[in-house]
Amino acid sequence: MGQRHEGTELLADEVAQKIKAKIQNQQYKPGDRLTVRLLCEEFGTSETPVKQALNQLVTTGLVVSVPKCGMRVRTFKFQDMKDNWEARLMIEQFCALPAVERARHDEEFVRGMQEILTISNGEYEKCISDYTKENFNVLHEHDRLLHTELVKCCRNQQIMDMYNSLNAHAGMFAGYGCHTPESLRQVQRQHSEIVNQLFLCDVEGLKRALEQHIYSTIQIYRSAWNE
């Protein structure tokens, strides 16, 4: 029974990744209903892993459960994303002090952040030179990782849970129509500045770099969506 349960979970993860990719590539569009029966037919699997996959995606903020309507692809609205980003900024700025304290004393943390930035820069360069939806969708995973590592420094599980529950990175793929290679270069520089201020152990500088990054992103989306 244990092996069967584990196999179902692994299959659910696989189905979740496939649904996620189709949402990000807009094969499933905002507001589309996700019917278990049709998904079972599409992926050639039983109902259990499909239901588990949809529940996973509800947790990540890509899918919403609508009473009497079932599961639907989440529609990302500018105001919702702006509110989430500002809430995210509040938490990240709170974590600036413990992040700097950790950078002062933890060489492994510093090396890890440098590695995250280096890999992120490589993916940004790839997307800037070849601006495709597929390359763009990779970026927000690296963006999320860099910011999440900063928040982890608070060593407060309730704050981490609050941060994760925002799902502030869930709709970043919607920015494909908002960004340009030039704006991506700007974001890349902002990430470098965030890490630079962290390594300088400048708490206020880190807070300013985070604020500039978040509000610059908000402005990019606002301009593109005419909000």
Is the confidence at residue 2, as pLDDT, over 70?
A: no
pLDDT tens digit sequence for 194-224:
999 999 999 999 999 999 999 999 999 999 8
Tell which phi-psi region holds residue 160, choosing left (phi > 0), alpha (psi between -120 and 50) or beta. alpha
Is the confidence at residue 10, as pLDDT, over 80?
A: no
> How much is the CA Rg of the chain, to the nearest whole Å?
19
Percentage of residues in the chain with pLDDT exceeding 70? 95
Q: Please give the CATH number for the structural domain made up of 78-225.
A: 1.20.120.530
Q: Please give the CATH number for the structural domain made up of 2-73.
A: 1.10.10.10
Is the confidence at residue 1, as pLDDT, over 50?
A: no
Extents of the domains making up the chain = 2-73, 78-225
> What does the alpha-carbon distance between residue 209 and residue 212 come to, in Å, rounded to a whole number?
5
Amino acid at 149: E
Is the confidence at residue 35, as pLDDT, over 60?
A: yes
> What does the alpha-carbon distance between residue 19 and residue 50 come to, in Å, rounded to a whole number?
10
Contacts of 35 (CB under 8 A, 6+ apart): 70, 71
Residue 7: per-residue pLDDT: 52
Average pLDDT over residues 47-54: 93
How much of the chain is in helix, strand and coil states, percent to nearest 5? 75, 5, 20
Is the confidence at residue 112, as pLDDT, over 60?
A: yes
pLDDT bucket at 149, cuts 50 / 70 / 90? very high
CA-based torsion, 32, 36, 40, 41: positive or negative: negative
pTM of the model: 0.86
